[in-house]
Amino acid sequence: MVSDDFSLKLIKWYKLNKRNLPWRESKNPYKIWISEIILQQTKVDQGLPYYLKFIQKFPNVHELAKANENIVLKLWQGLGYYSRARNLHYSSKYISKHLNGQFPKNYNELIKLKGVGKYTASAVASFAFNEKKAVLDGNVFRVLSRYFGIEEPIDTTSGNKIFENIAYINLPNKNVDTYNQSIMEFGALQCKPVNPKCKTCPFENKCFAFNNNKILSLPIKSKKIIKKERFFNFIILRNEKFIFLEKRIKNDIWKNMYQFPLFEEPIKSFYPPKDLIKTSILSKKTEFTHLLTHQKLNVVFWDFEIKKLFQNKKYEKIEIKKLNEYAVPKIVENYINQNISIHR
């Protein structure tokens, strides 16, 4: 499946319609790497402010490597998929220490970095070094499947091989970086998942999906995401000056971030342990549901006012005015912003 004018039309469309984004103005592999990691599972509008903050705080790989992990996670706070931030930090330390700050310059070396898969390695290799590598993200899968009529599921091994082959054979011999940017941008702005702009599409006449009324059925996924249901009881223990936090250390969501003491038990049958709240009064109880990609969290915040401070080796007693210095999950951040006065 090779289309002689496919790449030419894409690049022409891109030059007329592309968004001006800071990482596109640079050939610096560090900046491109940061942008690509941020944009995994994240839309450009949401990721752009984080990119700007990251580059301002950590202008090069050495600065990122020197940073405390809590500062990195704090800067990432609200973006989700926090393993991306931990992997960025880990790889920056590896590049700084073991590669003397010299960023890997080809796909085979890039893919060795923690948190870098085929897509990210291909993107950085092509955008920074113009290596002939095809990128395959959600936007590219959608464009290729609709235009060429590929009905093999994108989430299968056989499907991936088909898409990789078609993506590669349609790469131009020159300007690979521009072509890859073009097809990704085309999928994001023109060939969108819902309400694609088919009437102004330069490929309308040759598009398989348009001509066969299969626009919304392509690409195909074989697997349906099953969300695991969990029950989170957060116990807030505070007085006017102090509050208790704990660090998540298990290999789970939000690893190495801070939270209020947590008891993961069914909400209907749960009540905070008496030895923990014996000197406290329940002032507020807040319940809601929080959806992640693969999990459904049933959450309760039990907000207790402490009458007498106590010591607990499991939890950290911190000053409320310093609460914003700690990286916390989005649901905890939202509760803090809405219910706890930090500036006292």
Boundary-marking domain end, from 153, 187, 217: 217
| 103 and 161 co-located in one domain | yes
| 17 and 62 co-located in one domain | yes
pLDDT range class, residue 53, cuts 50, 70, 90: very high
Could you give the angle at which helices 44-57 and 29-38 cross, rounded to 10 degrees?
A: 140
- Residue 222, domain member (yes or no): no
Report the C-alpha gap between 52 and 38 in whole angstroms. Answer: 11
User: Residue 235 phi/psi, 5° resolution?
Assistant: -105, 110
| 235 and 332 co-located in one domain | yes
- pLDDT for residue 159 is more than 60: yes
| 235 and 307 co-located in one domain | yes
| 202 and 287 co-located in one domain | no
CATH number, domain with residue 76: 1.10.340.30
| 80 and 123 co-located in one domain | yes
Here the tokens at position 80 are 């989700």
Nearest of 335, 317, 326 to residue 242 by alpha carbon: 317
Total domains present in the chain: 2
DSSP 154: T
pLDDT range class, residue 343, cuts 50, 70, 90: low
pLDDT for 303: 95
Judge contact between 137 and 184, C-beta under 8 A: yes
Judge contact between 302 and 282, C-beta under 8 A: yes
| 75 and 209 co-located in one domain | yes
| 40 and 179 co-located in one domain | yes
Q: Which domain holds residue 68?
A: 6-217
- Residues annotated as catalytic (active site), given as ranges: 36
| 140 and 278 co-located in one domain | no
Which of 103-117, 157-171, 270-284, 286-300 is predicted with the least confidence, judged by mean pLDDT?
270-284
CATH number, domain with residue 328: 3.90.79.10
| 123 and 10 co-located in one domain | yes
- pLDDT for residue 183 is more than 90: yes
pLDDT range class, residue 312, cuts 50, 70, 90: confident
Residues of the chain above pLDDT 70, percent: 98
